[in-house]
Structure formats: C-alpha cells, structure tokens
Structure 1
Amino acid sequence: MIELSWPQVSARRLERQALAAPREGGTPADVVAAMCGAHAQVMSAAELSIALRLDGVTRADVRRALWEERSLVKTYGPRGTVHLLPARDLPSWVDALSRLPLGHHAFPDGVRMTAGQTAEVIEAIRVVLDGRELTIDELGDAVVGATGPWAGDLVMPAFQTMWPRWRQAMAAAAHHGALVFGPPRGRKVTYTSPPPAPAPPALSGSVLPMGGGGASGHADGTTPGGGGAVDGAVELLRRYLAGYGPATPEQFAQWIGAPRAWAEGLFEAAGPQPVSFQGGTAWVLPGDTAAPAQAPGGVRLLPYFDAYVVAGRPRELLYPGAARTRALAGGQAGNFPVLLVDGTVAGVWHQRRSGRRIHVTVEALRPLTRAQRGELDDQVARVGEILEGRPELTLGPVTVGPHA
C-alpha cells in the first residue's frame, strides 16, 4: 500500500485549493468547484475565501459572479449551512444532498414537522417561488397560505425570538431543488427558484468523469450502491477526495452531515483507492497518489469557515500545538480566522473596518522568520486589495471571540 506523509498531504491540498499560489485565469466558479463549496454564512468571509485563490480578483468580482453573471449560487449546502456553489454544478449537488438520510430530530415533539408536512412545505416553496423573489416574511405568508396555519406556529426558538414551524424545512427545500437565495432587496435577504439546469448536470472539472444524475430528490435517504442511481452523491465524494483526500468515510460523513454508515456505503460505490496515512488507512481517487516535490509552504490569512480548515483532517495535525486550543472552538474548525504557515494553523487573526481603513490584527502562535513576516505583509496587502480598503497590520493578541 502506498504511504503518504502529512507534509505530502498538506502540499497536495494547498496546491489543489489554489493556496500554494493563486490561480491565474480562473473564475470564481472554478475555485468554488475545487473547494467543494465556499461557506457563506458570513458573506465577506466567502468573498475573501474565493478571491484569495484567484490572481487579481476582488470582492466585487465575486459579487458580480453571484448576482449579475449568476455563475455562483447561494444556497444551503453541506451540513445544512449556507454555501456558495457553482451554478453549473447545482443539479448534481441537489442530486447528492437530496439523498442524505434523515438525521436525528433537532426539535422535540410538538415542534418538529412530520415527513408529510416537510414534503408539503417543500412543494409549497417550490410553487410559490416560481419566477419570484420573496423576502422571508413574504415567503412565510405564501407557504402558510398554501399549507395551513400549522406551518406558521411560532414554535422554533431562534436568536431570542420564535420562528414559524415551516422554517425548519428550508435547508431540505434547498437540498431538493426548491429554493436558492435571491439578490438582496436593500438589507433584506430574498429567496427564489434555482436557475435553469444546464446539460449535462455532472460536477464540472472532476478528476474522474461521471455521468450526472438529475435533480430528482430522494427524501427517503436511499442507501448508496444502486448503480447509476447514486451518480450525484458518488461524484460529490470524488470531488471531495480530489480536494481533501486522503480521507475516511467518517471524515466525509462529518463534512457533509450524514451518518457514517451512509458514507461507508458511498465509499463502496465509488471504489476509491486505500493508502497508508498516519499509521492508518485512508482513501484517495484511484491512481491519485502523487504529491508535489516541494514541501508545503507559504503564509496565508484564511477567513471564517474557510474550506481548507473546515474539510481538512486530521485536526491534530492541521492545528498543532497551541493552535489546537487557541484556534478551535470546542473542536470546531472555522470559528476563528486563521494564520496558515506551511499548510498548518499557526495563529489567529481579525479584521475590523473603519471606512476605507481595514485594521488587521494577527496573533502568531510561533515566531515568524523574516521571510515569513514579509509574506505576511504581502498577504495583508492582498486582503486589503480584495476587500477594497487600506489595510494596517498589528502583531499582537486577538481579543475577539469565536464566531457562532
């Protein structure tokens, strides 16, 4: 069995994530495809994640791709969290995410909806959003009108208020191709129908080509292994392994938000290649065992929930030493923006904007060489370019806590 070391894996991931060097001539959709989606709960962080990976791109270019060109789509992705995905890949994402088995019930009896109510709400969302862009209140009124008063019961605790019952189905509605985010209406978020599906609907640029499954949706959580019926899920696993392998079924299950048994069945269907990694067995795409000749290098400032750290495993190697306690929040990656040095987390950072001025504070957890300090200065300048402001760097403690 071929053995891969942690430095080799770090170098592979940096290169494939366009973090070893920014990609020249690519598009936001290209790098988001390689990232397996950009976490977008904090939109400024998503813009920075994407633009850092492209030469000369700014947040304005990312916004143009999302709201004008519509080459990116904002929707609910892995783990039910808000992501930016390539519009060209959305049908295969829907095909994959709609196959996820139902997880544990997040709400008690009297709050959660039945499977039948969930299906009714999803279909109502699909119908009322057809050709429209609605705010959350407008969407709620339309859904309750189409289903019944039960959908509007204020039973979901959320941010010191109560949300109506139907909102627990929003991520499921996105996973079944019923909604995506629409352009903002002033300060208000809107929702709309997904863009028309291109043909063929296979994830673009995959290492191994696959036939694409349609956006048919599978609320029953069908177990993988049925030939062409799992194309979307298998293709998503292959893209994940291309970007973040070697990986295990457990790691993939944690990333996508699915039971481990389901992920194990998907690995069997995909037929990846086992390799030896850190004293155990992990998997890569068949034949995909090469690593860059050079050691992992470079200094990067990654924002909240950057895909490199959220999907990167094992945590104890990605967050060595003091980084494990300083840059993780209860074991959760992404809650702190991180200083990345040679492929591993070596500090945290924070940026605060005041007009055109951007105050950047970097707390390094180990001494930086003169060359690394020079790279950090370059990286701060790049952050300022992306965010269209004038950056000022301070080296010292970051006093801001983790993002929820």
Structure 2
Amino acid sequence: MNDAGRRHIGTAERRHRLALRQRLAGAARAGSPEEIADSLVALHGTDPAAVHLAVGARLADATKTVGETERALYEDGALVRMHGMRHTVFVFPTGLTAVVHASTGRTVAARERARLLKNMAAAGAPDAAWLTEVEESALAALARRGQATAAELARDEPRLKEQYVYAAGKSYEGVHTVSTQLLRVLGVEGKVVRGRPLGSWTSSQFRWAPAPDHPELDPGEAQAELLRRWLTACGPATEDDLKWWTGWRVTEVRRALTAIGAEAVSLDEGTGYVVSGDTGPVAGPAEPWAALLPALDPTAMGWQQRDWYLAPELRPMLFDRSGNVGPTVWWNGRVVGGWAQRADGEIVWRILDDEGLGREAESAIAAEAERLASWVGTARITPRFRTPLERELSA
C-alpha cells in the first residue's frame, strides 16, 4: 500500500495483466476473432492488414486467421469496421455498435457535418438541402445494392461525383469529391460502415455497407459502459490514458469513472484506475512469451503513458512523426524491437533493447516470426504508416 492507502500495482504486474488480458501469452490465446475483439474492445481498423495481423498474433490456431476474420467481418456480421474513438476507424464486436456510437460518435458526427457544410458553402457548392437529397438518394442506393464502392454509388446517384475546391488560395488547397466527404461523414454518424474490400485481405479499397441497426442509447450510460469494458481489458490506467484513448473531455472521463465505481490504485506514474473488484494481485503467465504485433496494434497503442512497456529511447525508430506505432517485437510484456516483411516475403526482425534477453528469448521470437510467415503466405504487407525501423528492415 502507498501513503494514500491504495494498493500499488507495479510494472511487473501490469505486464502480467497485459500478457493475459491482451491475449498475448501462449496459454491466453483465443479460439476466434470474436473472442479477441471482445477481450480487447477494439482493433485498430485504419490499416486493413493490421486487423488480421492483430488477430493472428492472438489466435491459438493462426492458420485460420484470414478465413475466420473475414467470416466474422463479412459473413456472420459478428464484427464491424466503423468510426469510433478519436475519429479513428476500428473493428468492434457488432453488439458494441450502439455503445460506441452514443459514447463517442455523436459529438464527432455533429462537428464533421458542420465542417462539411461550411467548406461546401465557402466553395460556392450547393446548400444543405441539396446535400440532404444526395445523402438520402445514396443511402437508398446502398440499401438496394447491399454494399458498394463510392464509384458504384455514383452511378446510381451522379451528384456524388461533383467536386468543390477546399481552402481556395491556401497552401493546402485541394479538390474534394462529394462522395468522399459525404461517405466519411455518414460513417462517423453511424449510418454506413466499411464492407468487404476489393481484392485480398490487405486491400484498402473498401466497399461501403449500411450500418447494422442499433438502439439509441443515453450518452452518459454508453460512456460508462465503454469505459468499464476498456478498463476490464486494460486497467490499470491513468486519467490521461483514458482521456487519450476515448477522445473525451476530462469531465466525461471522471463522470464515467464515478458511474462504474472504478477503484483508484497507485502506479509508478501516479494514480490509476481499475474496475471495481480488480485491485487484487494478478500472477503472470506460466511460461515466458514472445509476440510480433503489427503497426497500430491495440496493445502497443492502448495507453498514452507507455514507459512501463516501451522504453522512451526506442520510440524514434518504432513510431512515425504522427505518433503511429509500427510493427513491434515483444518479450514478456515489453517492446524489445521491431519487425518487417521484405519483398520476397521474409519476416525479419531486430532487437533494440537486449536487456535481460538471452537465447530463450531469441528462439521464441524467431519461432513467432516463423509462425507469422506460415499463415501470411504469399501476401505482402506494407504498413499504411511507415516507421524508420520498418523501412530499414524491409529494404
């Protein structure tokens, strides 16, 4: 206990929790993509390949990664790719759609629609009534088709092809197409989601699909539920972690913490929070473990304060300038290096932090690289946001 009477959860125990609750230790691996998504709450979905790679790292039978993930996303509808926290695309369990939309989507959606109308008005484009007509027509066409690309929808609703100049006269002036901007807003509003892509599982050429039906929830209740789920998977976490991950104001974070009866604990960084009843000690996995996680993996990107699993001196090589993490190599709960795929398909990796590593660690990491290569097969993976080490290794 610390001076405030709170239990202290140190770095070693936080890594134990990460190994088990993030499904990374060998014995903690899951049997399906649905189980993984439910455990982690959300998988980063901006990079299509990253979703499959994140699942493959946690699936007991990695050979089923592509087929099972595509089944869950595009056949059974158990998972859905949609906008969520911080205006980022994630893959969620479909049952969480209403919670995500009410807790984070509505506020962002109102802002994004207002911005679109403002930009169109500044460019002399048609007004809000015109945009509403186009929107209703496009949604009707999407309902008829089931799923479609923006180009396919534009054949049904030609006004989607109209363009307008954004920020005329500015250094960042550009030409925007109505379809691109409108579908983006409809995604944030929870009216459309990303469907099956054209091409393979690594393709970023997505079709659009109608969003699954969901009830409209009270925002405060939805925020409490989302925070409860995330803290169960990722606790303990600080207020700064929670504010960063959700994109909420600090007042919203504190209100949700109170609503779920979160318990305060002591961390090396200060005060942290866990869900009620989760202050007890957590033993680590029975066996040491290694993992190769993809760019934008939800574990690597899960917390704003990362020193307990990622040494600050490693960040320049593993992150891009916008703060997106690249492919990482893990050993027993901490990042020790990075990996990449070369043009011939070889998975290569490099240790950047060898403190405490020995022959066992190197053998385990090499085995994970072979495991990854075995199910990736002939696919070629280039992260959407490239980092210095990934570029160097892939070359």
The separation in 2 between residues aligned to 1:192 and 1:8, in whole angstroms, is: 42
Q: Structure 1, residues 315-347: CA drift from partner, whole Å, max 9, x if none? A: 22322153133223347242x111112211111
Could you tell me how far apart the structure 1 residues matched to 2:106 and 2:211 are? 18
Residues 10 and 339 (structure 1), Cα distance of their counterparts in 2 relative to 1, 3 Å cut: same
Aligned-residue RMSD, C-alpha: 3.7
| Alignment correspondent of 2:89 | 82
Match of 2:383 in 1: none
- Between the aligned partners of 1:130 and 1:310, the Cα distance in structure 2 is 35
Q: Deviations over 1:52-93 (max 9, x none)?
A: 111113223212222222222122222222222222322322
- Does 1:194 pair with 2:211? yes
371, 374, 390: which is aligned to 1:385?
374
Query: How do residues 209-220 of structure 1 correspond to structure 2 at under 5 angstroms?
Result: 214-215=215-216
Is structure 2 residue 362 aligned with structure 1 residue 369?
A: no
CA contact (8 A) 1:113 1:165 kept: no
Partner of 2:280: 290
Out of 176, 196, 199, which is 2:189 matched to?
Answer: 176
Does the C-alpha gap of structure 1 residues 384 and 2 become closer, same or farther in structure 2, counting only changes over 3 Å?
A: same
1:320-375 Cα shifts (integer Å, max 9, x gaps):
153133223347242x1111122111111111353xxx211212113341000110
Q: 1:43 to 1:402 in 2, by over 3 A?
A: farther
Deviates more, 1:100-109 or 1:4-13: 100-109
Q: 1:390 to 1:279 in 2, by over 3 A?
A: closer
Distance 1:331-1:76 versus aligned 2 partners, 3 A rule: closer
Partners of 2:321 and 2:372 lie apart in 1 by 28
Contact kept? 2:243, 2:253, Cα under 8 Å: yes
TM-score normalised according to structure 1 size: 0.77
Identify the residue that residue 224 of structure 1 maps to in structure 2.
Answer: none
Q: Quick one: which of 338, 351, 357 aligns to 1:348?
A: 338
1:302 and 2:293 aligned: yes
How much does 1:161 deviate? 6.2
Query: What are structure 2's unaligned runs of at least 5 residues?
Result: 1-5, 381-387
Q: State which drifts further: 307-316 or 295-304.
A: 295-304
The answer on 1:134 being equivalent to 2:148 is yes
Q: Which residue of structure 1 aligns with residue 20 of structure 2?
A: 15
Letter of the 2:94 counterpart = A
Matched, 1:111 2:122: no
Moved more, 242-251 or 261-270: 261-270
- Corresponding residue for 1:246? 236
Asked whether the 8 Å contact 1:297–1:343 carries over to 2, the reply is no
TM-score in terms of structure 2 length: 0.78
Counterparts of 2:263 and 2:249, CA distance in 1: 21
Q: Name the one with the larger helix percent.
A: 2
Partners of 1:172 and 1:85 lie apart in 2 by 19
Distance 1:44 1:50, change over 3 A: same
